[in-house]
Chain A
């Protein structure tokens, strides 16, 4: 007898809204269907109809809280390419450092979530305690723990000055000292190994066919990494090599365990990149044009199309932008976040495993739904349409009710 087990759209095992319907026979999963969204936010519409291109940078930063650098990175790369905006050398290096800081914090966040999905909450708390170090550095460098507001067309908004370097170097030493302990905790623990080895396998063939990206595809042995493959920011200076699990274990299985291996190695790689960038960062300006109205005028005059791509912590992020002369907004803006490409891989990963494996296998691609879903159903019967003011009022009321 087959049953359908719905996981989602809102479910304790998932941190964000998505719907996975698993068909099960006994304990075994025999069918998987994913409904991507119950929550589309229309971010692109705002960029195409309301915001000017500079405002859209900050909007794109809010597509996703965790990787809030990768979306602005793609947007600025595309617009700079169309409008021919130069980026100073120092800014190229700062962009690399910011991107790698983001990767460290995101991978550690994921490692904690993975431990939690396995029921190993001590490790969750330990990993997130360790993650605080990079959060402190983010705050030191950007003035904020989470959103960075660092990207601007033609450069970055804040410099990484020499007085910040000692603290950043201290962070590098701290994480390097912890690597073997983290590797031991995640890779040698008997229970973690039992729960992740040979569970949720994505074969190389499926990875190619389903167009997966990032650590998900690298764990299956495909050496695909935008930082290695494409020349953008200062990445060509760093000789980056895509991380595959055989670099540590000697084999590629493509399972959940391998995805842990890849992310751990990538944290180490990011530490090396940051160190090299801090050492070799050229002096000079951090932005080619400081006056925002001038930038906007330059973008308004531009016409053309381009794609911006960046290796986000979860994989390739891509934005397509089309600009038309005389228009105050972007003409076309399409955001494709890495999770979009990775969720199709859930099916082969989950098939013929047990129900208990769903949370960790689902988490193993590091899904980010806020990226993938980008308000309200209009015109269907019986539903109220609420405007911004009304929503704000309701939000304030609810907060007051909860905090007497």
Chain B
């Protein structure tokens, strides 16, 4: 599956696809591609299932990168497809925006069991609930970490007391 086929497969689902490409190599100049695809929360599972269905290998899930965007949290689900083919791999990032006052996403563990760690991580680090995830225990933070403090938030729920310990902290 090349980049055109993958883009077409995603557009079948009426998704907007932004392609970002960079050239690398010296004698054998080759491009690498990243696709950025905004997805609405309620369609996330459908799109991931579509990705699993349409790609040759099982897509590789890397991680969820959360970003604090003011009133919203942006979750970037990084996948790579097409691995095993020289310079043929394409990175696909599904971008899901969720409002902070209704902060949840559905679990993907029933489709890809390997997403469990990342989903546990966004619960404790970003305060995003994951509906349907069985195991919601802390993963990186200790069990006695205070409730309602989320280390990756840029707002008042960030770990203010801990942050003061870093040199250069500005109130």
Q: Which residue numbers of A lie inside 8 Å of B, CB to CB?
A: 35-38, 40, 42, 44-46, 49-50, 81, 89, 92-93, 208-213, 222-224, 226, 228-237, 239-240, 242, 280, 282, 305-307, 309, 316, 318, 320, 322, 331-332, 334, 336, 340-341, 343-344, 373, 375-380, 385-388
Contacts and interface: CB of A to CB of B under 8 A. Distances in A.
B129 interface: no
A332 B67 contact: yes
A310 to B, nearest CB: 12
B26 A92 contact: yes
- Interface size grouping (class) on chain B: 35 or more
Contact of B28 (A236, A282, A307, A340): A236
A379 B146 contact: yes
A21 to B, nearest CB: 12
A373 B124 CA distance: 14
27 contacts: A35-B139, A37-B141, A40-B141, A40-B151, A42-B151, A42-B166, A45-B151, A45-B163, A50-B169, A89-B26, A93-B26, A208-B58, A209-B58, A224-B83, A229-B82, A229-B84, A234-B25, A235-B25, A236-B30, A334-B76, A341-B62, A341-B114, A344-B117, A376-B165, A380-B145, A385-B161, A388-B165
B112 A209 contact: yes
Nearest to A232: B24
Most chain B CB neighbours (cut-off 10 Å) among A211, A234, A380, A385: A211
Contacts of B117: 36, 340-341, 343-344
B42 interface: no
B40 to A, nearest CB: 19
Contact of A378 (B68, B88, B159): B159
A222 B84 contact: yes
B165 A375 contact: yes
B66 A334 contact: yes
A160 B79 CA distance: 36
A208 B57 contact: yes
Most chain A CB neighbours (cut-off 10 Å) among B87, B91, B168: B87
B144 A37 contact: no
A50 B20 CA distance: 29
Contacts of B144: 377, 380
A379 B161 contact: yes
A278 B154 CA distance: 46
A334 B161 CA distance: 22
A379 B165 CA distance: 13
B65 A378 contact: no
Name the 5 nearest CB pairs between A and B, nearest first.
Answer: A211-B114, A236-B25, A229-B89, A334-B65, A378-B161
B98 interface: no
Contacts of B32: 230-232
B15 interface: no
A242 to B, nearest CB: 7
Given A231-B31, A320-B78, A344 B116 contact: yes
Given A229-B82, A375-B165, 16 more contacts: A37-B141, A42-B162, A44-B152, A211-B112, A229-B80, A229-B85, A229-B86, A307-B91, A322-B67, A344-B116, A373-B140, A377-B142, A378-B149, A385-B162, A386-B165, A388-B166
A35 B112 CA distance: 20
A311 to B, nearest CB: 11
A40 B125 CA distance: 11
B113 A210 contact: yes
Contact of A375 (B61, B66, B162): B162
Contacts of A385: 161-162, 165
Contacts of A212: 114
A46 B26 contact: no
Given A36-B117, A209-B58, A377-B144, A229 B83 contact: yes
Contacts of A40: 140-141, 151
A237 B63 contact: no
B113 A237 contact: no
A60 to B, nearest CB: 15
B122 to A, nearest CB: 10
B151 A320 contact: no
Contact of A318 (B62, B66, B87): B62
Contacts of A234: 24-26
Interface string B43-76: 0000000000000011011110111100000001
